[in-house]
Structure 1
């Protein structure tokens, strides 16, 4: 009985006894896999070095490779092994397509990829994958949509396609066409795949498109069938070559040329060669005799240049190629290092946690930008794009690819305690939806200090309106409206947001005005979620001089009453049109809050109030507002009102000013705001305002 064995370009027939026997003293089994001769485990145990195998941890490997062999058949002249798949996935974290190739190289071994038992399989809804070797490029395109509806078990182009493996292929690399990827469809179809695998082991499933099931199943366990041979010589060559071990030495063996490889030199039409043709395994080499050179199309032409020019040109080209290679290698290495650093920052700032939160909260309008996107939007953060500077960073005007105008804030520092939860906090802040709060649109986490992207507000800041040299008249109703809208926004952050949010840097520079001069509270660079335990209290004092809560400066514990104090200073700016802190002023006038309290104590408020709003019609309202400011500026936080109470008080005052009856009878203001609860005291909800303040303003004291 005879068993056929492929023999490179020759077919051998050996007896089953010879085929199954192992070299004495050599291991014949590894794990669950039998190892028949001519294969062998270890040096000297195989007929040929290319058939040597190793046994590591009960895994049978092709020697000097990581390819695991799962079965060997001497009767069929085949072996089965595991290989990896090539995949192409869009990474939403880095906003880039990441590809992984797969390859096999048997150029120094007597192995061929079986063209009968394997197929090239491409999976994806927008995928063009192919296999490339020295002599072949074979692939196909898979797509979805329209008439192309994927179906289980069908691999004919709808979500899955396949191509035949060419004959005689001993090495290959799987690639993707970069123009076909999952950038636009990654939520529905996360990845594309290319696999050279055993046909019988593959059955297409539509779940391979919508999940990572295919990758999880075959990532490093892709079954591949390999045809193996004893010799790569033809029979006539092997028979007379006594320097090698000729296998067909027995009377019970016969030699036959293997048909897996073709002789390209015999087909001059398909493989033209006008010179010297030398057949190789899987290909051919065409060369010219001395004095001639190869032209395109395989035609040899006489040399026109001196023979010394050729090596000179070759040397020059070699140097150029070497320089280009070194440069490309350096650039690739630097790019790789930069990518690793960006990923480190992204994870450090809670980017992965942010994506998990975004998945669980469908419909959240929040974007994680790449650094390159924001560089393009701001013209590489050009100084002409700067909108303003602050204690926490610089704000730039930017235009996204969509045409939307945004404000891009490059923060200077970030608290170490905030880093891990930063992404999650940004998502919480993005869900704030209030007409008087600037919308946080997104952030960039792949930089050392995160970059924030806000809604763009065109009309400048309250600071510019109050202190700018523009000659504008600002009426008391306008100032009261601005104060009320600002208080409403802060009250929303403190009382309605979940969890509560502390602004941390309330000041006139952070109160923006849109086209209708409607208030938009901005700059959450210093914002933090309200602490739930003592370990979460801020340990680094932050804010702006002139607005800082004295109690916060002593305890380093930011509370909602810290925002109330800062808002009280903004109220004073609206009433006086003086800056919160003035280094150039006299010592007692440097701090506006301290100056105000001292003037109020001395009954000289008229000396500090803005002349534009000092008139008889406004006296009652000015008394109410100044007393409210005083309450906000209490040294002890517990004695200050809640922001919600401040907003309610300002709302009542606005309604009182708009009421026609009150405008005709200012003295009746008391009855609208509340009844007298005691002689000389007006009850206005949670506030008690002494009547003497109003009377003092009337008398001009």
Structure 2
């Protein structure tokens, strides 16, 4: 709001004692009349005669004393105004003025922030800043419209074709919203706003030009169609080449011969449509082997589509064979491979979609510290069961090669699902079998594998041991920002065991007197998995069995009783539990065949 205030005034006199103040027509400079300019942007004024005003000596001859605000161009002083009511009669008691006005004191930009009070409510209206006074705004109808911009639908389209003077058109006028077009009748053309007959161009020239233009357009379209057909055929040949190169024909024939194989070969177009052309917003995760996208196939089936990054020549030849073997994996704790796409340079894999993220997210996310020991132990056991199936039940055995917490997915019930076989290989039985170069992930890699470049089932055991430590500590497997000797979680864990400081590294949410016997037992199991030499590590089956037995002990009411009571309760059944005197750890070994409730 404007706060400027002014005091202005002028002085006039009718005293002509000196002979220099004779009133003159058209002059208002102090002799009988004076004037002063009123500043712009005033919102209020008050006029008054000051205390020096005195008409004692002239009131008989000049009884008219008045002041008025009036437009400067409308006022021309006349000496007759001094001794009569001519001025008053001329304007009928009023005076012509020009008011400047604006909507509020806001600019257009400020006013638009509050649309409830914004005055330009009509469609096709625009806001104009009041530049004359430097504050406020006004509204007007957009070009091509007229009316009242301050009411809804107040701005109406101008029919320019009805006013040929303001909007000249020497041809066919066609009104459009906010504008108009002017065209010529057939046989004429527009030149400088005037329609001119075609014959002035020369007989036969226009048809020739039109004919040549049509022929050119047809030629261009023909060439483009031929090019597109050629490129489409070329693309089909490339797709067929990749399909054969990746063993697609072998895979297709094997699928036909093996009835009941739930595996599909997808086209590139299907997966593009499912992932919205592999849009970045569909990315579920990225790793060293490729990028995983969420896709929705026809029928609203949710899937995870993995685009692998690279593949070597040997892999290309045996890819179809490996896909057929991996497609037959059927385990409740392994993500199901639904199909693949072979008609691209690097094949794509299609997995079932698991909705609840990864174990990494659960451990290291905002809610990671709310996981109970029982839940952690169950997830570890389910993951171990999955790896046991790959190592011992698949034919031929399969080595995962990249076990880590981010490759263990969790469904809506937090059931573990081992995923990402991008690094998997079939366990070799002879030199001709399919072998893949495995990269692995820093912090989880088997040190023996890095030395000998030979991946074994015990490499997966080592990586699983790191996952166990993650579950116990809620710390990441590798921390680049930590000091050199503390970057590796497995090294810190082993040093803590060696110095009898296990409690210092355990997650505080699960570390209590009730859980400590089980935590020590799990830590000892992780310690065995992290043995430098693979031959000293347990098999995944042994790991799974130990985790299963620990779960059974935790879930029974006699879990908190002393070892003598436990042994008397179990008798000659499935296990004997004894407590060592030096470390207080439980030592569990299988004795019988009696089955206990697993608590699944």
TM-score, length basis structure 2: 0.61
Counterpart-to-counterpart distance in 2, 1:498 and 1:452: 20
Q: For residue 674 of structure 1, what is the aligned residue in structure 2?
A: 576
**In 1, are the aligned partners of 2:261 and 2:328 still within 8 Å (CA)?**
yes
**In 2, are the aligned partners of 1:537 and 1:558 still within 8 Å (CA)?**
no
Counterpart-to-counterpart distance in 1, 2:451 and 2:512: 40
Q: Given the alignment of the two structures, is residue 371 of structure 1 paired with residue 268 of structure 2, yes or no?
A: yes
Q: For residue 133 of structure 1, what is the aligned residue in structure 2?
A: none
Q: For residue 508 of structure 1, what is the aligned residue in structure 2?
A: 405
Q: For residue 385 of structure 2, what is the aligned residue in structure 1?
A: 488
- Residue from 632, 635, 642 that aligns with 2:539: 642
- Residue from 311, 316, 332 that aligns with 1:414: 311
Q: For residue 461 of structure 1, what is the aligned residue in structure 2?
A: 358
Q: Deviations over 1:354-376 (max 9, x none)?
A: 10110111121111111111111
Q: For residue 445 of structure 2, what is the aligned residue in structure 1?
A: 548
Q: Deviations over 1:149-189 (max 9, x none)?
A: xxxxxxxxxxxxxxxxxxxxxxxxxxxxxxxxxxxxxxxxx
Q: 1:562 to 1:411 in 2, by over 3 A?
A: same
Counterpart-to-counterpart distance in 2, 1:669 and 1:461: 37
**In 1, are the aligned partners of 2:314 and 2:434 still within 8 Å (CA)?**
no
Q: Given the alignment of the two structures, is residue 449 of structure 1 paired with residue 346 of structure 2, yes or no?
A: yes
Q: Highest CA radius of gyration, 1 or 2?
A: 2
Q: For residue 517 of structure 1, what is the aligned residue in structure 2?
A: 414
Q: Which moved more, 1:531-540 or 1:418-427?
A: 531-540
1:472 CA displacement: 4.5
Q: 1:683 to 1:480 in 2, by over 3 A?
A: closer
1:505 CA displacement: 0.6
**In 1, are the aligned partners of 2:274 and 2:296 still within 8 Å (CA)?**
yes
Q: 1:667 to 1:438 in 2, by over 3 A?
A: farther
Q: For residue 588 of structure 2, what is the aligned residue in structure 1?
A: 684
Q: For residue 651 of structure 1, what is the aligned residue in structure 2?
A: 548
What stretches of structure 1 of length at least 5 have no aligned partner? 1-303, 688-701
Q: Deviations over 1:66-91 (max 9, x none)?
A: xxxxxxxxxxxxxxxxxxxxxxxxxx
Q: For residue 286 of structure 2, what is the aligned residue in structure 1?
A: 389
Q: Given the alignment of the two structures, is residue 581 of structure 1 paired with residue 489 of structure 2, yes or no?
A: no
**In 2, are the aligned partners of 1:662 and 1:668 still within 8 Å (CA)?**
no
Q: For residue 28 of structure 2, what is the aligned residue in structure 1?
A: none
Question: 1:102-181 residue pairs with structure 2 within 5 A?
Answer: none
Would you say how many aligned residue pairs link Structure 1 and Structure 2?
384
Q: Secondary structure at the match of 2:509?
A: helix
Counterpart-to-counterpart distance in 2, 1:321 and 1:377: 37
Counterpart-to-counterpart distance in 2, 1:468 and 1:677: 36
Q: 1:668 to 1:564 in 2, by over 3 A?
A: farther
Greater RCO (CA < 8 Å, at least 6 residues apart): 1
What stretches of structure 2 of length at least 5 have no aligned partner? 1-198, 592-600
Q: Secondary structure at the match of 1:394?
A: strand
**In 2, are the aligned partners of 1:494 and 1:560 still within 8 Å (CA)?**
yes
* Structure with higher strand content: 1
Q: 1:446 to 1:426 in 2, by over 3 A?
A: same
**In 2, are the aligned partners of 1:539 and 1:556 still within 8 Å (CA)?**
no
1:530 CA displacement: 1.0
Counterpart-to-counterpart distance in 2, 1:431 and 1:367: 12
**In 2, are the aligned partners of 1:564 and 1:632 still within 8 Å (CA)?**
yes
Q: Given the alignment of the two structures, is residue 629 of structure 1 paired with residue 526 of structure 2, yes or no?
A: yes
**In 2, are the aligned partners of 1:537 and 1:557 still within 8 Å (CA)?**
no
What is the RMSD computed on CA atoms of the aligned residues?
2.4
Counterpart-to-counterpart distance in 1, 2:334 and 2:237: 36
Q: Deviations over 1:408-459 (max 9, x none)?
A: 1111112332211111211211111111111111111111111111100110
Q: For residue 489 of structure 2, what is the aligned residue in structure 1?
A: 592
**In 2, are the aligned partners of 1:406 and 1:453 still within 8 Å (CA)?**
yes
1:306 CA displacement: 6.1
TM-score, length basis structure 1: 0.52
Counterpart-to-counterpart distance in 1, 2:225 and 2:453: 52
Q: 1:500 to 1:328 in 2, by over 3 A?
A: same
